[in-house]
Chain A
């Protein structure tokens, strides 16, 4: 597969971007853990779609954007990114804070996006339960809380098996700082988002893990209810990282949904 990395400059920020695959464009927005690049699920989806996976400003190898104050800023930024990259009406898939970002983008400019895949997105205040305060726990503690069962994850060793290098630790700290910048208060949600979502008529797929200890699965039902054209899929025995925890089933689900009628 033809996978490449590019730096695309958007609004004065250098955006490190993974690009690969063939077919209609799919913009993939990563979660707070950072951009993992072409992992197994993404390689599978890239058989049918051209995946564009930018690293958010302030994360990984992208430039700083200390002026950003919230996820709405990041959403605006990724709409600019689509222009800069020449993506016309791409499908958008976002995970966790990337899912929230995708939802805000759709609320800002529904006509600019095609289909929407929201994977365990934050962004809504749970009607029951609470979004885990991820900054209150160490990265080591969080790793254990994030997935349901490491033993069932095919890429576990590849992704988490080795102790992180100093450079990786530095990037992890930077990712955490930028996440705090974007999500600290109101914590991981936008109180106005429930007002916006009913305007988003794009076909939408919501995906969740039933054992998600970071964002309550109750939020899945809230998203499904608020988005007029949404379906929900909940994976059993799965935590907050469905794309990593069940990559093959996840990739099939996503590719089938994106291939549905209505473009």
Chain B
């Protein structure tokens, strides 16, 4: 099983009581609380942590993108990939991912990803996501078209990568008369494609039909298994058989020299489960964004929202894993046994978890955990 290091690049640099005054930290919390000086320092340390993760043996470095929120100030995931392409040497760069429905120019997206793949010498894993509703608001993109645009944007990017130009694209949402990108990926036929999921059966089936790597985020094991079944259904339709390499899972994890220190550090993950997900339902899930099937599954997938779970409950349900290196390795083995995934993505830094704690966790994972999990 491969391990991936991930930080959302949070900007938790303001008094919490200020954030509490607004209906949500997303969209509504005024950006006068954004501190450019702190942000500049943080980017340096976040990149240093990714570089350390590369050095100690993580298989991949996961990055993601959000907008208008202090929970994630990685606002340009392809920029991040380009930087990591130069400053890291061996780990895959897992972009999970580009938010396709809000993209107005898939050709530019195809070019940027190709460039990141070239700069990194063919290390890009290209994740495509539908995004949370907040991004629809940020981009003022009609949520009713979310899935249609996701699929069409994907189709055009793939065509850019796999069919010689020039060609014309006249679709439902995208229109280009002269497509001929002079930047193509190093990996052939194209960088591997990854798709995350939290609730939509359609997405799992769609990924299965195409043989992409599918990664449920922070859902109970039984829900992940059900989503994997939808994936297998899609794979079977296309005459494929799913392998562990097709499946990943994302959890939060930290280790430290003592259990007490690790458990203390793990508390930082509660911020991403609670305060950063607080807000009106219409902001996170605007009208028309989810199908009825998706909505029904979402109710089942999250009988309780993450924001209502205590730290102890999050630990007990293995959505957060915090312990000594041996304990963490045991838990990772449990995830592997329970889900049969080939990729385990670790959200391994959050909130105000400091550099020292984060770096020590990365070092211990490299020294004591990765040697064990790599054998699974």
- One digit per residue, 1 when the CB lies within 8 angstroms of any chain A CB and 0 when it does not, for chain B 282-319 equals 11001110000000000000000000000000000000
**Which of chain A's residues has its CB closest to B143's CB?**
A180
- One digit per residue, 1 when the CB lies within 8 angstroms of any chain A CB and 0 when it does not, for chain B 268-291 equals 000000000000111100111000
Docked-complex contact B142 and A138, CB < 8 angstroms: no
- One digit per residue, 1 when the CB lies within 8 angstroms of any chain A CB and 0 when it does not, for chain B 126-159 equals 0000000000010011111000000000000000
Docked-complex contact A176 and B280, CB < 8 angstroms: no
CB-defined contacts of B288 to chain A, threshold 8 Å = 176-177, 180-181
Docked-complex contact B281 and A185, CB < 8 angstroms: no
Docked-complex contact A176 and B140, CB < 8 angstroms: no
CB-defined contacts of B287 to chain A, threshold 8 Å = 135, 173, 176-177, 179-180
What's the nearest-Cβ distance from chain A to residue B149, in Å? Answer: 12
CA distance in complex: A136, B282 (Å): 6
Q: Which residues of chain B have a CB within 8 Å of any CB of chain A?
A: 137, 140-144, 280-283, 286-288
Query: Of residues B142, B143, B282, B287, which shows the largest number of chain A Cβ atoms within 10 Å of its Cβ?
Result: B287
Q: Known interface pairs A177-B287, A180-B288, A181-B288. Does A138 touch B144 (Cβ–Cβ under 8 Å)?
A: no
Q: Known interface pairs A137-B282, A138-B282, A177-B288. Does A185 touch B140 (Cβ–Cβ under 8 Å)?
A: yes
CA distance in complex: A137, B137 (Å): 13
Number of interface residues of A (CB under 8 A): 13
Additional pairs, 6, CB under 8 Å, beyond known A180-B288, A184-B142, A184-B144 = A135-B287, A136-B282, A137-B280, A138-B281, A176-B287, A176-B288
CB interface residues, A 176-210, toward B, < 8 Å: 176-177, 179-181, 184-185, 187
**Which of chain B's residues has its CB closest to A136's CB?**
B282
What's the nearest-Cβ distance from chain B to residue A125, in Å? Answer: 15
Docked-complex contact A135 and B286, CB < 8 angstroms: yes
- One digit per residue, 1 when the CB lies within 8 angstroms of any chain B CB and 0 when it does not, for chain A 153-194 equals 000000000000000000001001101110011010000000
CB-defined contacts of B281 to chain A, threshold 8 Å = 138
CA distance in complex: A119, B371 (Å): 71
CA distance in complex: A136, B134 (Å): 11
CB interface residues, A 112-153, toward B, < 8 Å: 135-138
CB-defined contacts of A185 to chain B, threshold 8 Å = 140-142
Checking B137, B140, B142 against A181 with a beta-carbon cut-off of 8 angstroms, the contacting residue is: B142
CB-defined contacts of A187 to chain B, threshold 8 Å = 140
CB-defined contacts of B144 to chain A, threshold 8 Å = 177, 180-181, 184
What's the nearest-Cβ distance from chain A to residue B312, in Å? Answer: 32
CA distance in complex: A214, B122 (Å): 52
CB-defined contacts of B142 to chain A, threshold 8 Å = 180-181, 184-185
CB-defined contacts of A179 to chain B, threshold 8 Å = 287
The 29 listed contacts between A and B (C-beta, < 8 Å) are A135-B287, A136-B137, A136-B280, A136-B282, A136-B283, A137-B282, A138-B280, A138-B281, A138-B282, A173-B287, A176-B288, A177-B287, A177-B288, A179-B287, A180-B142, A180-B143, A180-B144, A180-B286, A180-B287, A180-B288, A181-B142, A181-B144, A181-B288, A184-B140, A184-B144, A185-B140, A185-B141, A185-B142, A187-B140
**Which of chain A's residues has its CB closest to B288's CB?**
A177
**Which of chain A's residues has its CB closest to B139's CB?**
A185
Q: Known interface pairs A176-B287, A180-B287. Does A135 touch B282 (Cβ–Cβ under 8 Å)?
A: yes
CB-defined contacts of A135 to chain B, threshold 8 Å = 282, 286-287
CB-defined contacts of A181 to chain B, threshold 8 Å = 142, 144, 288
Closest 10 CB pairs between A and B?
A184-B142, A177-B288, A176-B287, A181-B144, A180-B287, A180-B144, A180-B288, A177-B287, A135-B287, A185-B140
CA distance in complex: A176, B282 (Å): 12
CB-defined contacts of A136 to chain B, threshold 8 Å = 137, 280, 282-283
CB-defined contacts of A176 to chain B, threshold 8 Å = 287-288
What's the nearest-Cβ distance from chain B to residue A144, in Å? Answer: 15
CA distance in complex: A176, B144 (Å): 10
CB-defined contacts of A180 to chain B, threshold 8 Å = 142-144, 286-288
What's the nearest-Cβ distance from chain A to residue B83, in Å? Answer: 33
CA distance in complex: A181, B144 (Å): 6
CA distance in complex: A138, B143 (Å): 16
What's the nearest-Cβ distance from chain A to residue B151, in Å? Answer: 14
CA distance in complex: A136, B283 (Å): 7
CA distance in complex: A138, B279 (Å): 12
CB-defined contacts of B282 to chain A, threshold 8 Å = 135-138
CA distance in complex: A179, B142 (Å): 11
CB-defined contacts of B140 to chain A, threshold 8 Å = 184-185, 187
CA distance in complex: A138, B23 (Å): 13
CA distance in complex: A20, B283 (Å): 41
What's the nearest-Cβ distance from chain A to residue B291, in Å? Answer: 11
CA distance in complex: A190, B286 (Å): 22
CA distance in complex: A187, B281 (Å): 20
CA distance in complex: A179, B137 (Å): 16
**Which of chain B's residues has its CB closest to A177's CB?**
B288
CA distance in complex: A258, B298 (Å): 51
What's the nearest-Cβ distance from chain A to residue B218, in Å? Answer: 25
What's the nearest-Cβ distance from chain B to residue A15, in Å? Answer: 21
CA distance in complex: A187, B286 (Å): 15
CB-defined contacts of A184 to chain B, threshold 8 Å = 140, 142, 144
Query: Of residues B137, B144, B281, B286, which shows the largest number of chain A Cβ atoms within 10 Å of its Cβ?
Result: B144
CA distance in complex: A87, B141 (Å): 38
**Which of chain B's residues has its CB closest to A184's CB?**
B142
CA distance in complex: A181, B172 (Å): 14
CA distance in complex: A185, B286 (Å): 14
CA distance in complex: A137, B144 (Å): 16
CA distance in complex: A180, B136 (Å): 12
